[in-house]
Amino acid sequence: MKKGSVRQYFPGSNSCEGFYSLWDYNVNNLEKLIILKGGPGTGKSTFLSYVTKEMTARGHNTELLWCSSDADSLDGVIFRDIGIGIVDGTAPHLRDPKYPGVVDKLVNLGNFWNEELLLESRTDIINLTDQNKELYRKTYAKMKEAKEYHDKLEQLYMEGMNWSAIDKMTDQLINDFFGAYPDNKDGGLVQEIRRFAGASTPQGPVNYLDELLSGATRKFILKGRAGTGKSTLTKKIAQAANEKGFTVEYYHCSFDPHSIDNIYIPKLGICLIDGTPPHEKDPGPDDTVLDMFKFMSEKVYRKNLSKIEETDANYQHSFLESLDILKECKAVHDELEKCYVKAMSFKEVDHVREMVLEEILAFAGKLGV
């Protein structure tokens, strides 16, 4: 049997606004959603990995939803061909059943810990939990500080941009992409898929963009600096696609989730990619480069250059500090996991895992998949 395909992305991100969730765009409208509960170290990620392996081996296409606070940990898995998902429903992506029993099913792995053993680590658990919470507060405060510098950086570039010329190029692209297609006048449902293709994790930057856009046949690589209009142009192209009735995959910036780094229009095979650092993308021989910096006034750029360099240095410093604190968060979380691991009965977790797998296979069997 041919193995199923795998797509990978992040449904949430540690951002300048704190933890930012795009979960609903990916797990809503499933036929069945299994929500895992339990403390850290109770086996949720291992549970997800096991079911993924078994279902993929049986030919089911799989979406892997990774954790931005630990790039090696799964937060969810979706088998889109049968409409079933399994997710970690604990903080920060807290999820409770919306339609209990008919759509959502709760599986509490906390039922399989030994409370007496857990109480032996009571003081450590409380201290580590509080420490972790404070470290995340500091992480987000530093990211917010970095965003303030980034906003100033954008303003320094925006001052010199020729926006009318950018608007003209945008209109030309819209006409090129969609001019031959009628408007979606019947008001039919247009699907918006929103995800993070990458994230800054404690293990370093992780990005699945190349894999996610592997089906694209026309790639447009945007080059430029902060504030040169890359995200604005991308949003306008996406809006035009929606008006024509095309499904759009939006890939948000993990640092500033209100900014769109990339879009993909599957039916047309068109994608726009922000190819600037920290997610630098070199164009291939068949890719088209859209150089936004060519619309920058040389005079204004020279005037602002010293401020640009100073502000960029401050932004980089604050952002890198936030990532250092994020590494501390993971170190503390790893210690917290150890407290729970030693109190768990993983034999019972394995039994429930097999029961859930059988339930999913039975559901797929009824669909004839």
Residues in the chain: 369
Contact 17, 72 (CB under 8 A): no
Whether 34 shows a pLDDT value over 70: the answer reads yes
Is pLDDT above 90 for 53?
A: yes
Between 348 and 183, residue with greater pLDDT: 348
Find tokens 């401050």 and name the residue: 314
Neighbours of 323 (CB within 10 A): 18
Question: What's the confidence (pLDDT) of residue 185?
Answer: 57
Report angle CA 243, 234, 304 to the nearest 5 degrees: 145
Confidence of residue 369 (pLDDT cuts 50, 70, 90): confident
Residue with tokens 């658990």: 125
Q: Give the model's pLDDT for residue 123.
A: 98
Which regions of 38-121 does DSSP assign to beta strands (E)?
62-67, 70-79, 84-88, 104-108
State the Cα–Cα distance between residues 231 and 157, nearest whole angstrom. 14
Residue type at 158?
M
The answer, yes or no, to whether residue 125 has pLDDT greater than 80, is: yes
Output the average pLDDT for the chain: 95
pLDDT in tens, 254-308: 999 999 999 999 999 999 999 998 888 889 999 999 999 999 999 999 999 999 9
Residue 183: predicted pLDDT? 84
pLDDT tens-digit profile of 234-252?
A: 999 999 999 999 999 999 9
The crossing angle, in degrees rounded to 10, of helices 44-57 and 346-367 is 40
The string of pLDDT tens digits covering residues 203-218 is 999 999 999 999 999 9
Close Cβ partners of 250 (under 8 Å, ≥ 6 residues apart): 192, 193, 194, 195, 238, 260, 262, 263
